[in-house]
Structure 1
Amino acid sequence: MATPTADAFRALHLGRAADDPLVLPGPWDAASARAFADAGFPALATPSAGVAASLGYADGSVPAEEMFAAVARIVRAVDVPVSVDVEGGYGLPPAELAERVLGTGAVGCNLEDGDAASGTPGDPRRHADRLAALRAAAGGALFVNARVDTYLHGTGDLADALARIALYTDAGADGVYPIRAPAGHLPRLCAGTELPVNVLAEAEGADPAALGRLGARRITFGGGLQERVQGMVAGLARELAPGAGHREAPGAPRG
């Protein structure tokens, strides 16, 4: 059954102005989650890639137990709703997947229709059945965001993406996420469903308002924010490395 937190998260997607999409930064650990929440973001959405990097794994190779444990730590660290990227569902039956996600305290999840191992977009009808079963098992307690992988793994065919969005809408998804869709396709994709459309933005230089005017109602960043921070950490490490930055500057006064 739905909870007040789940209802609040669902409501954040509704009634938004065209230039004011819901922006959900992606925390990769408890500390980053607190930073985003303290900055005033009303909700967060964990990225599988960012969490994987923080745990020392490549994206797509985190064991389910470790991913759910990491998400639970993130949820405990903040007072705002959290959605979780569960990739392809870790091979779990929909009812068990719903139970595991809800057990972390999360109120939403992304479920991708592509097969990352084979690099194919996957069977849309099978995915629609999984979405319907997941939605039924969660009983309204999860905002189910159906990821469409035709641009990531497929040919990027607009008609294919629209057909998948229609199937997932009929299956009861709460939102759709045509990841890596080009800006030129967004107006058609967003017009093809009444559901909120999630758009992936760049971690630096993103313009959520411009994406909103193209139809996006939810903006996420994948693992980009973690990658950006990791780049800053790498630069700091180079500055502090033995022998780095300790040479006497030309013309420096001698004591």
Structure 2
Amino acid sequence: MSSSVADKAAAFAALHRRPGVFVMPNPWDAGSARLLAGVGFEALATSSAASAMALGRTDYQLTRDEALAHARSLAAAVDLPVSADLENGFGHPPEAVAETIRLAAEAGLAGGSIEDASQETERPIYDFGQAVERVGAAVEAARALGRPFTLTARCENFLHGRSDLDDTIRRLQTYEAAGADVLFAPGLPSLEAVAAVCSALTKPFSFMVGIPGKSFSVAELEAAGVKRISLATSLYRVAMKAAKAAAEEIRRDGTFSFLGPR
């Protein structure tokens, strides 16, 4: 029997409260969402880059309406909670961020993330005060929904050349104090850095696997204090690599060995 949106949202929030770590993979369309649900994962999330690439675009090229329509199709395809990568909220003002959270909830999502990357070349990361204000607006909008919505606040320093662990921790602590349910800092360089971040927070920390040399096992991440693991574009890239290799074999050799033994 299909669960209601509220039930899915409550189940998603509960995953963050139970002991141990959980993996939340990132499908790129309804079919891959159903595949991952069938494998046995308990929650899924969109990846802004994978969602864009599945539609023939690059990261950050989808409009808010396009991103939410894509997320809605994934949420409708599975009887699992789905969270969304909501980028920077699709606008600089706090009011734009709040509206994105309201629309994400209307789309049937159990949660979503808001990042402090501005998508501006000269100022890639929002100033501290503005970043905190934007998280606060997202929290206020989420709390006004009348049902659970797990809000993740992301510090993007390490993805934008700002390898400042102290500033990253300061931002995450302040986002936590502003009411974010989960904290996230993609691109951390080592398990030691991951452990330092986790020990500085009281709320769940999410880690992104997918960067070579900066991806660690589930057991290692759990030992460092991570609660949730996402995969970004990893599965999409694996699938496309396999499809490309098969297509190249057909064009080059006229054979179909990728199908396995006859």
- The residue number in structure 1 matching 2:43 is 43
Offset, 1:117: 2.9
In the alignment, residue 5 of structure 1 is paired with which amino acid? K
- From 173, 184, 194, give the equivalent of 2:180: 173
- The residue number in structure 1 matching 2:65 is 65
**More helix per residue: 1 or 2?**
2
Identical positions, percent: 32
2:47–2:84 Cα contact (<8 Å) kept? yes
In the alignment, residue 231 of structure 2 is paired with which amino acid? F
Matched, 1:202 2:210: yes
1:188-227 maps to which residues of 2 (within 5 A)? Answer: 188-202=196-210, 207-227=217-237
Offset, 1:203: 8.0
- From 129, 133, 151, give the equivalent of 1:125: 129
TM-score for both structures, normalised by structure 1:
0.89
TM-score for both structures, normalised by structure 2:
0.86
- CA–CA separation in structure 1 for the residues paired with 2:85 and 2:174: 21
Unaligned regions of 5+ residues in structure 1, if any?
248-255
- CA–CA separation in structure 2 for the residues paired with 1:225 and 1:5: 23
- From 157, 163, 186, give the equivalent of 2:170: 163
Offset, 1:206: 5.2
- The residue number in structure 1 matching 2:99 is 96
- The residue number in structure 2 matching 1:150 is 157
For residues 191-246 of structure 1, the C-alpha deviation after alignment (integer angstroms, 9 at most, x for no partner) is: 111111111113898511111111111101111211111111111111222xx223
Offset, 1:141: 2.9
In the alignment, residue 167 of structure 1 is paired with which amino acid? T
1:198–1:219 Cα contact (<8 Å) kept? yes
2:13–2:148 Cα contact (<8 Å) kept? no
- CA–CA separation in structure 2 for the residues paired with 1:100 and 1:154: 31
SS of the equivalent of 1:182 reads coil
- The residue number in structure 1 matching 2:254 is 246
2:24–2:43 Cα contact (<8 Å) kept? yes
- The residue number in structure 2 matching 1:253 is none
**Further displaced range: 80-89 or 138-147:** 138-147
- CA–CA separation in structure 1 for the residues paired with 2:59 and 2:229: 20
- CA–CA separation in structure 2 for the residues paired with 1:125 and 1:154: 20
- CA–CA separation in structure 1 for the residues paired with 2:97 and 2:68: 15
Offset, 1:125: 2.2
- CA–CA separation in structure 2 for the residues paired with 1:70 and 1:246: 36
SS of the equivalent of 1:93 reads helix
Offset, 1:75: 0.5
For residues 119-172 of structure 1, the C-alpha deviation after alignment (integer angstroms, 9 at most, x for no partner) is: 622223222222222222122531111111111114211110111011101110
Unaligned regions of 5+ residues in structure 2, if any?
256-262
1:135–1:142 Cα contact (<8 Å) kept? no
SS of the equivalent of 1:199 reads strand
- The residue number in structure 1 matching 2:258 is none
Offset, 1:63: 1.6
Offset, 1:14: 1.6
- The residue number in structure 2 matching 1:141 is 148
Say if 1:237 and 1:117 are closer, same or farther in 2 by CA, change over 3 A: farther
Higher relative contact order (CA 8 A, sep 6+): 1
Regions of 4+ moved over 4 Å: 203-206
SS of the equivalent of 1:110 reads strand
* RMSD of aligned Cα (Å): 1.9
